[in-house]
Structure 1
């Protein structure tokens, strides 16, 4: 079975310039993601999709192959799905093979663990799910600000404040790792389709780098 992990890592980032090459504990973010994927037993191949020569160099140094991302899908509005679909097709054409399971792994999750990558890969590779994602238990009360500045409870009735153990378990999408049946992904062109399995991970490691404060 061929299981391909794709790490999208474009060069442009307005919130944190050079984000994907940012150093965390002595290793660039893109390299941290590559190393986590390479250590996952079920993953057979790792590629980084990028439009940056510097990111490509760091990715190769960490042991990944590189797929050059076209300008058309490298801008701020380009979706991760577009990058993964392009990398999947390019990888299969380059190696004249068919990928069975494809992963989307985000290098902006600095505390990504190999166990996260492996858990979603196994869920799809074994047929337990068509798509899978890492989630963390979430116990907070969510609010949304209305147009008039007032607040509305999203996942709770503000007039009723049950204890944590009396509430349904909410799950937070961590944004770190996703796995998809490759054939289903090509058809759906979206990371969630068929039977989607949430795979729990440690909430202490949930962090996505969107601004300089996150990186610090």
Structure 2
């Protein structure tokens, strides 16, 4: 296997402006994903796709390939797979047979997660593998629709409220993608798997697998509170000796 770790780090963000280069535990946020990619035994090459010149400059400093992302692939409506296909094409390396997609706004993920996903991709012969976290008390069986005008609570179509379950312990296990890692084969990414219906997730192929994480092991930054949580976790890890905070190389990217 010749896996490319591709870190997606566009400049814009509605919730936390510049979040992909925001200071998290003393380093630009995207750098934590670079470290995770470099630490993965199954990754042969690391690259960053971005339209942010400050991130490109940092990539030059640390010796990581950067791909200048076109403006139309750097909007908040641009698809992840379109950006990934562009990056793979720009690198022009036919030996790449799988792509590890890492989101730059995820500075916290458990050690070994990338390799676990790659190993499952190979052992299962799957088209894609992504990480999932348990939903806990925010279970789909306990969701409902609320009429904003009247406050009336209604079940989803075909469901009953709470499915008759009133204790969290009685809920069946349910998981949701947590953004920690997404691995796809090159064939799946390039939409070359026969029989896969078109749609926003067609690039995941036909055989889709998962690896699980525990609650809190992955932090996806979408709000200012998430920045504080990630910063705290990374500093706690350093204090506990479970992974030192590397010294910054060059200046900080944060504004």
**TM-score, normalised via structure 2 length:** 0.75
The 8 Å contact of residues 175 and 208 in structure 1, kept in 2 or not, is answered as: yes
For this pair of structures, how many residues does the alignment match?
213
Residue 179 (structure 2) pairs with residue 175 (structure 1): yes
CA distance in 1 between counterparts of 2:160 and 2:210 reads 22
The 8 Å contact of residues 117 and 131 in structure 2, kept in 1 or not, is answered as: yes
Residue 172 (structure 2) pairs with residue 160 (structure 1): no
Counterpart of 2:217?
205
Counterpart of 1:196?
208
CA shift at 1:197, angstroms?
0.9
CA distance in 1 between counterparts of 2:30 and 2:51 reads 13
Seen in structure 2, the aligned counterparts of structure 1 residues 71 and 159 have a Cα distance that, compared at 3 Å, is closer
* Mapping of residues 1-216 of structure 1, within 5 Å: 1-91=1-91, 93=92, 95=93, 97-140=94-137, 141=139, 142-148=142-148, 149-153=151-155, 157-158=161-162, 160-187=164-191, 190-216=202-228
CA shift at 1:21, angstroms?
0.6
Structure with the bigger percentage of strand: 1
Seen in structure 2, the aligned counterparts of structure 1 residues 156 and 35 have a Cα distance that, compared at 3 Å, is farther
CA distance in 1 between counterparts of 2:160 and 2:63 reads 46
Q: Note the aligned Cα RMSD (angstroms).
A: 2.2
CA shift at 1:58, angstroms?
2.4
CA distance in 2 between counterparts of 1:106 and 1:186 reads 19
Larger of the two Rg values belongs to structure: 2
The 8 Å contact of residues 32 and 107 in structure 2, kept in 1 or not, is answered as: yes
CA shift at 1:64, angstroms?
2.2
Displacement over 6 Å in runs of 4+: none
- For structure 2, the residue ranges without an aligned partner over 5 or more in a row are 193-200, 229-255
Counterpart of 2:233?
none
CA distance in 2 between counterparts of 1:84 and 1:35 reads 19
The 8 Å contact of residues 7 and 34 in structure 1, kept in 2 or not, is answered as: yes
The 8 Å contact of residues 132 and 177 in structure 2, kept in 1 or not, is answered as: yes
CA shift at 1:127, angstroms?
4.2
**TM-score, normalised via structure 1 length:** 0.88
- Find the residue that maps to 1:158 and give its secondary structure: helix
CA distance in 2 between counterparts of 1:46 and 1:87 reads 11
- For structure 1, the residue ranges without an aligned partner over 5 or more in a row are none
Seen in structure 2, the aligned counterparts of structure 1 residues 143 and 165 have a Cα distance that, compared at 3 Å, is closer
